[in-house]
Structure 1
Amino acid sequence: MRQFAETEALSGIVHEALGPRFHTVGVDRLRGGSKKGVYRVHVDGPRAASVIVYSWAEAENFWPGSEGVDAAHPFAPASGLVPFLAAQRSLDRLGVRVPGVLLADDSRRRYPADVAVVEDVARGTLESLLETDPARAADALSELAAMLDVMHQQHSRRYGRVDVLERGDEASGVSCEQLVLERALEDLAYAAEGDPGIGSAATPLHDRLQELAAGVPPRTSHGLIHGELGPDHVLVDASGHPVLIDIEGLMFFDVEWEHVFLRLRFGNQYPALSRPGLDPARLDLYMLAMRLSLVAGPLRLLNGDFPHRAAMRGIAEHNAKEALALLPVS
C-alpha cells in the first residue's frame, strides 16, 4: 500500500514557505501525476489562499524502477527537484510563464523527500477551458503559440535536458533521430508483448521505423522543447495567460518531436500551434515513434499499481490502432 504525504508534513513545509501567520486548513491530492505527488494546500492567515506542493517521494512515482538507466539520456525519467528548478529558471528567463517557486528543499530535514512549494494557478487547465469557454481559450492558445515560438527559437548545438547541459554533461547518443529510433524499437518490443495487434505487425512496424529513420537528414541545431505539452499541462491564470506545468523534461531537441505531441494532444486546435519549416521526414518517423511510446508507456504503468487503469488501457488501445494505421498499405 502506497503512503502519500500526510497533512501534518505538508503543513510544516507550507508554514516554512509562507511564514508563521499562515495556517493549513485543508489538503487535496490532485489527480493525474504519475511521477510526483501534487497537492493543493489551503491556508488561512492575512489572506485566504492556497499553494501547490510537489513531492518527489518514491511512493509518488508509479513508473517501474530506473536502475541501470543513464540519467543523462534525453528520454530518461525526467523527475525530481533538480530538473524542475533548472527548467523553471530557464523558462522564467525567457519570459515563459511558469508557476513561481516559493520554497524548494532537497535537504530532507523539513520534509522526507525533495519538495517544492509553488504558486497555485487555480483557474484550471487549457484543456477544460477549450470545452467551457472556447473564445477565452482561443486567446490563451494564441499566447501559447507565441511562447512556443520563443522556446523553439532558442538554439543549441547540443541536445539534452537543460539540467544535464547546465552541469556540463553530455547527453547520450549520436543524434536525436537515432535516439528516437532506438527508443521506438524498445517500445515496439514491449508493446508487442502486451498488445495483440502490435504483436502481429511487429516485423512490418520494425521495418517501417528503420525505413523512416534512413530518410532523416542530419542536423546540428536543436530547439528548446517542453517534451510532453498537452492542454492538460497548460494552466490558464486569472488574467487568461497560459502557464506551463510538468516542465521537468524541458530539453534541447528536435522541435518536430514537440510538434508531433502537440498535434496528437491538441487535435483540431493544433493549427493554431503549427509552424512552417518542419522537416517532414522527422515528422513521419517521430509520429510512429510517438504512437508506439503511447502504447508501451501505459502498458508499463498497467504492469504496476497505477490506479487509473481504464484510462491507461484506453490510451494504449487507441494508440495501437493509430500506429498500425501508419503502416503503408500493401
Structure 2
Amino acid sequence: MADEVVSTAAVRRLVTAAMGPSVDVSGLERLAGGSKKGVFRLRLSDGASVVLYLWHDSENWWHTVREAESDLFSDASGLALFRQAHAQLAALGVPVPEVLFLDDAGTHLPADLALVEDLDGPSLAELLAADEAAAAPVLERLRDALRRMRSASRPSYGRVGPPSGAVTPDFPTVVLERALRHVGSAAGRDPRVAAAAGRLVDALHERATPVRPRAGHSLVHGELGPDHVRVDGRGRPVLIDIEGLMWADAEWEHAFLELRFGSHYAALRAPDLDEARLRLYRLALSISLVEGPLRLLETGFPDGPAMRRIAEHNLARALRAAGAAGPV
C-alpha cells in the first residue's frame, strides 16, 4: 500500500477517532510475516502500543493468484472473516487479541481495518527457541484451547458464520479434489513435480479410499503454527491470523500442527484422531505447501527465499510419501 495512505499523519487521525484526542501516535512500524494483510505496530504518546491490521488488495499478495472463489480455502482474508472468527473463538474462551476498533467503511483509511491490543509477550515460536521449559505450560494451555475448538460442532463444513445450506461434497472429498488441482498447478511450475505427478495422484487416491463418512465438523484455525500464537503477559497462548477459521475435520488441523510444531507436537496430540484422514491430509497439505508458495513466488513477494524454503521442504515430504508405503 502506498506510503501516503499508511502514513503517521493518516494513522494519527485514526487513533484520535478510536481512542480520543489525548492519545497521539509517536511511531509507525510495519511488522514482518503477513502475506494477506498489512500489520503495523503503532507506538502511542503514552508509552503504550497497539497493532493495526489493514485488509486491502495492495497488502494481499494472493490477490492476483487466488484460487476459484468457490474453493473453501481460497483467499481467507478480510475484516468480515476476522470479525466472525474473533467472536466464535472468544465465545469458546479461546484467547484472541482484544479488539479496540473496527472500520469497514473506509472512514479513516481506504481499507478495512482493525486496531487490536499489542500483546507484550513473544510468539510461541520465539519462546520454544529460547526456553522450552517456559514454553511447556503454554503448550498445555494451547492444547486446552484446541480441545475447546474441537468440542464445538456443526453438521456442515465451511467458513464460520451461518451455514450456506448448499449440498456439497464431504470435507475429505474437497481436500482430495483441491490436492489433485494443486498437483497439476505445481507440475506446470516445477519439473520435479511434473515427473512425479502420476505417483502423487495415485498416492492421493490411495489415501482417500479408506476414509469413511463422518457426521459433524469442529472448529479449526487452519494454519496454526507456533508463529501464529502469541504469548501474553499471563502466559496464555493467544491465536492470531484467525481469518481462516472454519468448520472442518480436526485431523486437518492436526496434520498442520504436526508439520509446524515438529518434536513439540507431542504436547498437542489429541486422542481418537482418524489415522486414515491424517494420512490423506498430511499429503494434501504438503502438496498445497508446494503449490501455494510456487504461485506466490511469481508475484514478487518480498520474502521469496522463505517461500522457496517452504516449497522445497514440502516437496521432499510429498515425494517421499508418493514413493513409499506408510505414513509421512
Contact 2:66 2:75 in 1 (8 A): no
2:5 corresponds to 1:7: no
Q: Amino acid of the residue matched to residue 58 of structure 1?
A: D
1:256 to 251, 258, 269: 251
2:323 corresponds to 1:322: no
Tell me the alpha carbon deviations over residues 32-52 of structure 1, each in whole angstroms, 9 at most, x when there is no partner: 00000000000013xx20000
Quote the sequence identity (%). 48
Q: Aligned-pair distance for 1:122?
A: 2.8
Q: Report SS of the residue matched to 1:52.
A: strand
Q: Report SS of the residue matched to 2:39.
A: strand
- In structure 2, relative to structure 1, the CA distance for the partners of 1:237 and 1:68 (3 Å cut) is closer
2:93 corresponds to 1:98: no
Q: Aligned-pair distance for 1:74?
A: 2.2
- C-alpha separation in 2, matches of 1:225 and 1:305: 30
Could you state the TM-score of these two structures normalised by the residue count of structure 2?
0.95
**1:29 aligned partner:** 30
- C-alpha separation in 2, matches of 1:80 and 1:138: 33
**1:269 aligned partner:** 264
Could you state the TM-score of these two structures normalised by the residue count of structure 1?
0.94
Q: Aligned-pair distance for 1:329?
A: 3.3
2:82 corresponds to 1:84: yes
- C-alpha separation in 1, matches of 2:30 and 2:166: 34
- In structure 2, relative to structure 1, the CA distance for the partners of 1:303 and 1:173 (3 Å cut) is farther
- C-alpha separation in 1, matches of 2:10 and 2:58: 15
1:308 to 287, 294, 303: 303
Q: Aligned-pair distance for 1:66?
A: 6.5
2:258 corresponds to 1:243: no
- In structure 2, relative to structure 1, the CA distance for the partners of 1:329 and 1:135 (3 Å cut) is closer
Q: Report SS of the residue matched to 2:188.
A: helix
Q: Aligned-pair distance for 1:68?
A: 8.1
- C-alpha separation in 2, matches of 1:294 and 1:242: 25
- C-alpha separation in 2, matches of 1:300 and 1:113: 25
Once the two structures are superposed, the pairs formed by residues 176-215 of structure 1 within 5 Å of their partners are: 176-215=171-210
Q: Amino acid of the residue matched to residue 120 of structure 1?
A: D
Q: Report SS of the residue matched to 1:326.
A: helix
Contact 1:160 1:170 in 2 (8 A): no
Q: Amino acid of the residue matched to residue 225 of structure 1?
A: V
Q: Aligned-pair distance for 1:69?
A: 3.0
Contact 1:226 1:249 in 2 (8 A): yes
Q: Amino acid of the residue matched to residue 162 of structure 1?
A: V
Q: Aligned-pair distance for 1:133?
A: 1.7
Contact 1:74 1:172 in 2 (8 A): no
Once the two structures are superposed, the pairs formed by residues 43-192 of structure 1 within 5 Å of their partners are: 43-45=44-46, 48-65=47-64, 69-70=68-69, 73-163=71-161, 166=162, 168-170=163-165, 173-192=168-187
- C-alpha separation in 2, matches of 1:220 and 1:23: 52
Q: Report SS of the residue matched to 1:156.
A: coil
Contact 2:56 2:112 in 1 (8 A): yes
Q: Amino acid of the residue matched to residue 149 of structure 1?
A: R
In structure 1, list runs of 5 or more residues that go unmatched.
none
- In structure 2, relative to structure 1, the CA distance for the partners of 1:152 and 1:91 (3 Å cut) is same
Contact 2:257 2:265 in 1 (8 A): yes
- In structure 2, relative to structure 1, the CA distance for the partners of 1:68 and 1:209 (3 Å cut) is closer
Q: Aligned-pair distance for 1:172?
A: 7.3
Q: Report SS of the residue matched to 1:201.
A: helix
2:222 to 227, 239, 242: 227
Q: Aligned-pair distance for 1:65?
A: 2.7
What RMSD over aligned residues (CA atoms) do the two structures have, in Å? 1.6
- C-alpha separation in 1, matches of 2:72 and 2:34: 20
Q: Report SS of the residue matched to 1:124.
A: coil
2:20 corresponds to 1:19: yes
Q: Aligned-pair distance for 1:269?
A: 0.2
In structure 2, list runs of 5 or more residues that go unmatched.
none
Contact 2:55 2:113 in 1 (8 A): yes
- C-alpha separation in 2, matches of 1:329 and 1:36: 39
Tell me the alpha carbon deviations over residues 134-157 of structure 1, each in whole angstroms, 9 at most, x when there is no partner: 111111011000010000111110
